[in-house]
Structure 1
Amino acid sequence: MDLHLREATPADAEGVARVYVESWNDGFTDLMPPRVLDAAQIARWSRDLDAELVRWQLVESGGSVVGFVGTGPSRYPIDPDLGELDTIAVAPSAWRRGVGRRLMDAALDDLRGGGYGQAILWTLADYERGRTFYEATGWHSSGEVRDSGREVAFRHVLLG
């Protein structure tokens, strides 16, 4: 699979929205209600990709978006030394083909480049596939929870 990593722009909203909906619906089966790819979802991603707080990168294969990742400052908890992996998603058709690892490497490089000493990400407590991937890429469960324990945090030491 030929993979090309680049910065995402609002013009990528439809491809990013498609990957988001497909990965959500396949990855969170029985955990969360399904998402729908519609004009509202595309508009949401157009706004998110245009926002300056999060840096969005994507991977293309054959001219199509197959995955994306967003990084930026931590929103919860707010800590100037803590970066956050906001979202990472890979199209199910590209699972287990190196796309997730490529995106994670890019995200960690971006967070290190931003001068963050540590990074945090939040995931559903019951999302085993994600938790396994995060652990395989150097993240460690921190014991932090939110949303009445429905979400758990993983941390990654970047500098030090």
Structure 2
Amino acid sequence: MPDDARRVRAAEPTDAPAIGLAHVRSWQAAYRGRVPQDYLDALDADRRGEGWRRYLEAGPPGGEALLVVDVDDRVVGFANVGPSRDDDAAGGGELRAIYLLPERWGLGDGRALLAAATRALHAHGFGHATLWVLDGNERARRFYEAAGWAPDGATKEDLSFGFPVAEVRYRRPLP
């Protein structure tokens, strides 16, 4: 895709509905068979978008950023970065979320968004960064590994969704 058709930029409150849609549709495609189907079916793009709108209107806290990738002026994905939330990764940054509309997977939008998110973490002064990925999400794991991320040995079982989700932590130094 020509570079002028794809753009990564800071998110604005008006992007929130598209962010919510990308968030929900990506979850529904990527996590099918990995999390309970009734949970995926109940995801609400409008509600998710409203949460992102409030986040953007309040202004991301220090060290955080919400980026979007748009193609032909249509938001197709987003990434959220900020300080690490892990005690053992203090002083580092964290890629907290990165999601694309499923029909945009494999077209370069994710690579552009991940590169911009990594630059944003570095610009906030972080020397390294982490992210958490579902243990069985091989597609995402290959994506991160191709961009220089590697498992660091940390694992956790996230119960915040009401069911257990096994996750693996990835880490990378920032340039």
Q: So what's the TM-score if we normalise by structure 2?
A: 0.84
Contact 2:60 2:66 in 1 (8 A): no
Task: Determine the C-alpha separation between the residues in 2 that align with 1:44 and 1:141.
Answer: 30
Task: Determine the C-alpha separation between the residues in 2 that align with 1:100 and 1:38.
Answer: 20
Task: Determine the C-alpha separation between the residues in 2 that align with 1:151 and 1:47.
Answer: 28
Structure 1 range deviating more: 112-121 or 33-42 = 33-42
Name the counterpart of 1:114: 124
**Does 1:150 find its partner at 2:158?**
no
The AA in structure 1 aligned to 2:85 is: R
Task: Determine the C-alpha separation between the residues in 2 that align with 1:38 and 1:140.
Answer: 31
Provide the identity percentage: 34
Contact 2:23 2:48 in 1 (8 A): no
User: Which residue of 11, 36, 42 maps to 2:49?
Assistant: 42
Tell me the SS of whatever aligns to 1:68: strand
Q: Give the superposition deviation at 1:78.
A: 6.2
In 2 relative to 1, CA 78–12 (structure 1 residues): closer, same or farther, beyond 3 Å?
farther
Q: Kindly report structure 1 stretches of 4+ aligned residues shifted beyond 4 Å.
A: none
Q: Which runs of 5+ in 1 are unaligned?
A: none
User: Which residue of 52, 61, 72 maps to 2:60?
Assistant: 52
Name the counterpart of 2:136: 126
Task: Determine the C-alpha separation between the residues in 2 that align with 1:84 and 1:38.
Answer: 24
Per residue, is there more helix in 1 or in 2? 2
Tell me the SS of whatever aligns to 1:66: strand
Contact 1:56 1:69 in 2 (8 A): yes
In 2 relative to 1, CA 122–99 (structure 1 residues): closer, same or farther, beyond 3 Å?
same
Alignment of 1:60-99 (within 5 A): 60-77=70-87, 79-99=89-109
Q: Which runs of 5+ in 2 are unaligned?
A: 159-164
Structure 1 range deviating more: 78-87 or 104-113 = 78-87
Task: Determine the C-alpha separation between the residues in 2 that align with 1:46 and 1:78.
Answer: 31
